[in-house]
A and B are shown apart, each in its own frame.
Chain A
Amino acid sequence: MIGHRLRLGAEGDRTGLARLVIAALAVLTVLVLLLSTATGASDASVVDVALSLVSGEPSSVLSQRDRIIVIDIRLPRALLGLVIGAALAVSGVVMQGLFRNPLADPGLIGISSGAALGAVLMIVLGGALPAVFLGLVGAFALPLAAFTGGLVATLLLYRIATRHGQTSIATMLLAGLAIAALANAVTGVLIYVADDRQLRDVTFWSLGSLAGATWPKVVTAGPIILLSLSVLPFLARGLNAITLGEATAFHMGVKVQKLKNIAVVSVAAAIGAAVAVSGGIAFVGIVVPHVLRMVIGPDHRYLLPASALLGGILLLAADMFARTIVAPAELPIGIVTALAGAPFFLWVLLRHRASTGL
């Protein structure tokens, strides 16, 4: 169906390939979603789950108990995995585009730590806030706090690392390290003063996990993430231009400052919401965009949607691995992504040693 309109022939033109990859990833996303809802202690099969999800009624093969497991436990977890994976990967693409560097990852340059600090502040000290305010923001208090933390960290980083439109890569990585260390230190202090209940909340996602996924979390974090990600495709052409330099992007007609503002706020919101429900999950934001750039090229019009899909797929796969490898216990997903992602990051670093000047 897609075959006859595909033009892989035109030299240097990867748009046909990109469209094919995006279509394949979309199909894969559905498959992984089904597989994820069918994976676990209960032995419902993928087909049973699919039938049950489509019909919306308990089928003969899927018992009532299995249905509850699938619909109320596995499905929200899988959906959350998809949107959070998308948020992490797309945020990576955008930060890398803005910084014009393939090593910028929200987890590495302190944005996630900032968001985590915001969330911990809300858990530990949020009780002191006026009840009116808490009543107003309700379940969004935690994502909002994480968003604010992530935004502050991003702005701080950008201010420090960028001078006259040029971003120093060394400054960015080192400043990110310092911001992350500072945020983690303050988080540590807060943990010290936290009571037992707060401590449980804090420890839960400092490890990075999808284990606490529930429908209410899907309903609060999901829309924030999807809304912030939906803005970004409109920035694709501008992000392409910025890869040539901020001055050149301006010459090409891009409102650079406005684009940067929208991009930074969107990333902070997406990362904030993701961190609020799952904790810090590193490396997805580096691995996914890097692999895709090698396959379909760095054109953001295709890189953004492809990264969203592959990010979701990878995170869901990592989650399946995390909850089955040491069953009945489960590994925090952050450990799985770090185990796979850190060596990959080192490999990227070695490959880019010459061009990054590090």
Chain B
Amino acid sequence: MICAKNLSVRLAGKLIVDALSLTAKAGQVTAIVGPNGSGKTTTMKAISGEIASSGELTINGDDMRKLEPWQLAVRRAVLPQSTTITFPFTVREIVRMGLSTGLNNDAAHAQAIAAAALAAVDLEGFEGRFYQELSGGEQQRVQLARVLTQIWDPVLDGRPCFLMLDEPVSSLDIRHQLTIMQLARNYCLRGGGVIAVMHDLNLTAMFADHMVMMKRGKAIAAGAPADVLTDAAMEEVFGCRMRVSGLPAAGTPFILPQTAVL
């Protein structure tokens, strides 16, 4: 379990995250949603240990701030929004990097994990391609494969590992959005935990077990999607007057991921 209590982040004198509390349990997809600039990514950076924050922050009961980088690296892995690389790495070389800092030293085993991770993000056969020559969505999936290899086993020594994903589906097509969200759910079914910053509320409703809605650095609401996603919350947080689960006017097509046959 990852537990943040009264988490606050101040950047250049400005309070970006304001006394936010969040609990991400193993076996659950926890989503963080909110409008642009509400502090979602900053919250994620604080929880991953990337930036300094005040308040309580624990992973499986251990104070996260007291853990060394390598200790954190075997307990949680982080997918940033985007990663640009100026050197000509192949896809295989990038994915293998996730294994180089973890606990996997057996070359054959590492090879198998790297291949399985690429298959999991639907990039089989991409090993020999150059990262720089891939599309944005493909790059995002390569990075996710790398992140997966870092904590391939969702449970380490009887304690859950956590994937922290900052907008994991932001540049993906609808099919791959579903693939990746299913992958996240699967990781939870196998005993791990997932925290994801999400923009797509339909995917959130579909895949999240628990969600936190943020506005101006504060958690406005938290709970199951069915409880958090209300007409009132949409208007208060996003400033949009709209109806949750309402149907559009007749004749306007709409496509919901919830209808996909998985």
Contact = CB atoms under 8 A, between A and B. Distances in A.
B86, B89, B129, B132: residue with the most chain A Cβ atoms closer than 10 Å = B86
A102 interface: yes
Interface in B61-108: 68-74, 76-78, 80, 83, 85-94, 97-98, 100-102
A245 B79 CA distance: 12
B114 to A, nearest CB: 10
B127 interface: yes
Nearest to B95: A12
A291 interface: no
B101 A254 contact: yes
B101 A244 contact: no
Interface string A128-171: 00000000000000000000000000000000000000000000
A12 B92 contact: yes
Given A11-B127, A241-B97, A355-B132, A251 B50 contact: yes
A253 B101 contact: yes
Interface string A3-21: 0000000111110000000
A294 B88 contact: yes
A250 interface: yes
B123 to A, nearest CB: 11
Contact of A252 (B127, B132, B150): B150
A77 interface: no
A293 B69 contact: no
Interface residues of B, number: 36
Contacts of B129: 12
Contacts of A256: 69
B89 A13 contact: no
Contacts of B45: 247
Contact of A11 (B78, B128, B132, B150): B128
Contacts, number: 94
Contact of A298 (B71, B76, B87): B87
Contacts of B88: 293-294, 297-298
Contacts of A356: 86
A245 B82 CA distance: 10
Given A245-B83, A253-B70, A253-B72, A12 B97 contact: no
Contacts of B78: 248, 251
A243 interface: yes
Contacts of A293: 87-88
A248 B80 contact: yes
Contacts of B94: 244
B69 A253 contact: yes
B70 to A, nearest CB: 4
A237 B69 CA distance: 14
Top 6 nearest A-B pairs (CB, nearest first) are A253-B73, A12-B92, A11-B128, A12-B90, A298-B87, A12-B128
Interface of A: 10-14, 100-102, 237, 240-241, 243-245, 247-248, 250-256, 293-294, 297-299, 352, 355-356
25 contacts: A10-B92, A11-B128, A12-B93, A12-B128, A14-B90, A100-B85, A100-B87, A101-B86, A102-B86, A237-B101, A240-B100, A243-B85, A244-B83, A244-B85, A244-B94, A244-B97, A245-B83, A248-B78, A250-B49, A252-B97, A252-B98, A252-B100, A252-B150, A253-B101, A297-B90
Interface of B: 45, 48-50, 68-74, 76-78, 80, 83, 85-94, 97-98, 100-102, 127-129, 132, 150
